[in-house]
Amino acid sequence: MRTGGNLLKRILIAMLLVLLALGAAGCGTQQQGGHDKKFRIVTSFYPMYIDAINITKGVDGVEVVNMTKPQTGCLHDYQLTTEDMKTLEKADAFIVNGAGMESFLDKVIKQQKNLKVIDASKSDDINFLKDGDEVNPHVWLSVTYNIAQVEAITSQLCEADPEHADAYRKNALDYVTKLTALREEMHKELDNLPHKDIVTFHEAFPYLAKEFKL
């Protein structure tokens, strides 16, 4: 039991490191552009930022900014700050997880009527789980559903910024290929574990458990 648990822990840590590494590969390159007017994308929290910088990697004239600090965690009870609103005032598009994660979203839409909101969970390929009567919004913890989110972000981003649509689609395809390989690697390691009982400290992990039959 202990061996299986240690292996599972190593796999989950490896997954996080790979996702962060994929994200880091896009850092810095999308910040520099030759255009006078950059297309400015703001993301609601770190998982959306990781997706966004991979989709926009190397695209000239596009800037990605994460609204909240990386250690913020989930946004269920997050309160917008004055700095957040200033950040959003300068944004052309705001990428959110959706599905109720950003409890402040109605306030943003009300105050920033011209802001294009890109909902990463707006996908027919996501089957939402529920916590009681409420939808569980932590879909990015399923690799399969995160792929669906990447595709949803890309589709809506291409509509918001058609000038860079071809580059977004190419980057998204490359990123989905990496995520698909990651999913296959994790299945290879986890599918044959002798024990699949886990204890979690957060309601986010049912999607991970469902993906790998934990």
- pLDDT for the residue numbered 27: 43
| CA dist 171 → 57, 66, 129, 208 (Å) | 7, 19, 29, 25
In the chain, which stretches have pLDDT less than 70?
Answer: 1-36
Residue 98, Ramachandran bin (φ over 0: left; ψ between -120 and 50: alpha; else beta): left
Is residue 75 within 8 A of residue 50, CB to CB? The reply is no
- pLDDT for the residue numbered 13: 56
- pLDDT for the residue numbered 209: 95
Q: What is the pLDDT of residues 27-55, one digit of tens each?
A: 443 444 444 589 999 999 999 999 999 99
2-211, what's its fold? Rossmann fold (3.40.50)
In sequence order, what E strands does 59-203 have? Answer: 62-66, 93-96, 116-119, 130-131, 134-135
Is residue 97 within 8 A of residue 110, CB to CB? The reply is no
